[in-house]
């Protein structure tokens, strides 16, 4: 009963040697709404090395399996295309000839020079060096500011800029400087291993959206009124658990936590299993789930529904509207709702998940 986990698999593609003998395949970026992010690995939480405009021509070397992307313009896929300079784009946004692209060869632990060079131009990267305790990402450069995320030791970071704040003595240095992450949160530079110093924070590199602004507007409500979530966001035992679990009964109505638009209605489960029956702790995936997009770049995710949601992608929902029913599909050993909150979405991933308990409390909808 206690072993309920959402598997948030991290597919960090290693870099492969550029010795493949086959010819690169020409293809085209199909991303009419915004530029396509080119990344250092095969998931959206790996470093962004540059962007490509809609219609850009790309040259694909090979493919690797990575994060499933189901919002692409061309296809739903977990395949990522490695470009000839060693960087990656999701194949979900790529129009190309039907011919299969070969799988990338065995990985080698050497970053292609092109990626390293491209990354150096736009951003500084670093690694959390906190020893055992996760490094806290906060809304301001001081330890009393609200906690947004706890980043495990070894987490790769993109450092946008540095800002003066509280002096901290850490594993790497004693410093009053804090590093701002792309989500707009701050981590003490005292615990960040890095080779270059990020630029100072100025008006020019302000975040697009404030980090987890306490008031994003709109009304919030518990997704499962009458039932309590237990703390469980990124615990020591389960650092990849990026939501909280609310134990309940099969068939209990699940409510939209706030007004928004349905982004996804998906069965996410390991091949060979069905979302239409109870899962187990040994099956991967969050089962039947719904993802909603709300104002202010907030996304919420509702997993393990007993059957396909009542709502459709693109549909507008009101706060409190019933969107589906509690079940135990996917990686679940008892009926419950796995609930996630993401900031600066879309996209959503481990990099922008925040603890739903303080978030909901701040928004007047206590769930703990």
Interface residue list for Zn ion (CB under 5 A):
6, 245, 338
Ranked by CB distance to Zn ion, the top (closest) residue is 338
Closest separation in Å from C-beta 223 to Zn ion: 13
Taken in order 216, 125, 156, 266, is the CA torsion positive or negative? positive
**Cβ distance to Zn ion smaller for residue 245 or 264:** 245
**Cβ distance to Zn ion smaller for residue 287 or 320:** 287
Closest separation in Å from C-beta 4 to Zn ion: 6
Closest separation in Å from C-beta 270 to Zn ion: 16
**Cβ distance to Zn ion smaller for residue 245 or 355:** 245
Closest separation in Å from C-beta 152 to Zn ion: 17
**Cβ distance to Zn ion smaller for residue 234 or 338:** 338
**Cβ distance to Zn ion smaller for residue 130 or 300:** 300
Closest separation in Å from C-beta 78 to Zn ion: 21
Closest separation in Å from C-beta 1 to Zn ion: 13
Distance CA 219, CA 295 (A): 10
Closest separation in Å from C-beta 268 to Zn ion: 13
**Cβ distance to Zn ion smaller for residue 39 or 241:** 241
**Cβ distance to Zn ion smaller for residue 88 or 233:** 233
| Contact between residue 138 and residue 149 where contact means Cβ atoms under 8 Å apart | no
Closest separation in Å from C-beta 69 to Zn ion: 22
- Rounded to 5°, the CA angle 214-217-223 comes to 85
Closest separation in Å from C-beta 334 to Zn ion: 11
Distance CA 118, CA 61 (A): 18
**Cβ distance to Zn ion smaller for residue 141 or 335:** 335
**Cβ distance to Zn ion smaller for residue 41 or 285:** 285
């Amino acid at each position: 009963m206690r072993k309920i986990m959402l598997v948030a698999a991290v597919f960090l593609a290693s870099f492969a040697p550029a010795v493949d003998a086959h010819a690169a395949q020409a293809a085209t970026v199909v991303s009419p709404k915004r530029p396509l992010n080119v990344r250092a690995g095969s998931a959206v939480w790996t470093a962004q090395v540059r962007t490509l405009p809609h219609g850009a021509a790309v040259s694909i070397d090979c493919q690797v399996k990575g994060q499933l992307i189901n919002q692409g313009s061309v296809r739903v896929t977990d395949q990522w295309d490695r470009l000839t300079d060693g960087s990656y784009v999701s194949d979900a946004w790529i129009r190309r000839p039907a011919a299969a692209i070969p799988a990338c060869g065995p990985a080698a632990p050497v970053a292609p020079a092109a990626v390293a060079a491209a990354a150096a131009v736009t951003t500084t990267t670093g690694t959390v060096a906190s020893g055992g305790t996760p490094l806290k990402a906060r809304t301001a450069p001081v330890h009393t500011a609200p906690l947004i995320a706890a980043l495990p030791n070894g987490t790769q970071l993109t450092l946008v800029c540095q800002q003066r704040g509280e002096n901290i003595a850490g594993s790497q240095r004693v410093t009053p400087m804090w590093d701002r992450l792309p989500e707009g949160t701050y981590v003490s530079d005292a615990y960040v291993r890095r080779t270059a110093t990020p630029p100072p924070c100025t008006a020019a590199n302000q975040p697009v959206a404030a980090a987890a602004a306490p008031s994003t507007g709109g009304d919030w409500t518990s997704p499962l009124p009458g039932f309590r979530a237990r703390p469980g966001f990124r615990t020591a035992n389960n650092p990849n658990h990026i939501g909280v679990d609310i134990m309940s009964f099969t068939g209990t109505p699940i409510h939209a936590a706030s007004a928004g638009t349905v982004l996804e209605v998906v069965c996410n489960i390991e091949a060979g299993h069905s979302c239409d029956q109870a899962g187990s702790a040994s099956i991967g995936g969050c089962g039947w789930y719904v993802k909603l997009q709300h104002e202010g770049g907030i996304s919420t995710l509702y997993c393990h529904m007993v059957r396909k949601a009542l709502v459709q992608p693109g549909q507008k929902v009101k706060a409190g509207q019933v969107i589906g029913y509690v079940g135990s599909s996917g990686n679940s050993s008892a009926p419950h709702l796995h609930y996630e909150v993401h900031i600066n979405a879309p996209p959503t991933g481990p990099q922008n998940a925040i603890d739903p308990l303080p978030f909901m409390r701040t928004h007047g909808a206590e769930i703990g």
